[in-house]
Amino acid sequence: MKQRVAIARALANQPKVLLLDEPFGALDVQTKETMQQFLLDLWQRTGVSILMITHDVGEAVFLAQRIYVMTARPGTIQQEVSINLPEPRDYAIKRQQQFRHYQDSITDLLRGTVPLGI
């Protein structure tokens, strides 16, 4: 509930961009999934741009339209990945081959191995 209130408070000023840094990192899996769906619904209703930092590759693929994979040190953008998954998204999408391909390719980038085309 605290996360919803924090997001609502940030949206009260009608920002053009909402910045989130690991907003769901401390939540249990069930609450995290509920909040991810809440964020998607919020984005679809308001149209506000959301820039979110996360270390959870699956979360990034599920929520994003674009993912910027960064290097460790120095922190520079290694690659931009456009996510072309059907909208509106729900959790069934995580079982699709295309979702797993994005997740595996981004994980390979983070590990320093070259993915076979994203």
Q: Which SS3 state, helix, strand or coil, does residue 39 take?
A: helix
pTM of the predicted model over 0.85? yes
Residue ranges per structural domain of the chain: 2-111
CA distances from 116 to 19, 22, 82 (A): 31, 28, 15
Tokens (6 digits) for 34: 């509920």
| CATH class of residue range 2-111 | alpha beta
Q: Which pLDDT value is given to residue 74?
A: 86
pLDDT in tens, the chain (118 residues): 677 788 888 888 889 999 999 999 888 999 999 999 989 998 999 999 999 999 999 999 999 999 999 988 888 999 999 999 998 899 999 999 999 999 999 999 998 876 556 6
Q: Which pLDDT value is given to residue 118?
A: 60
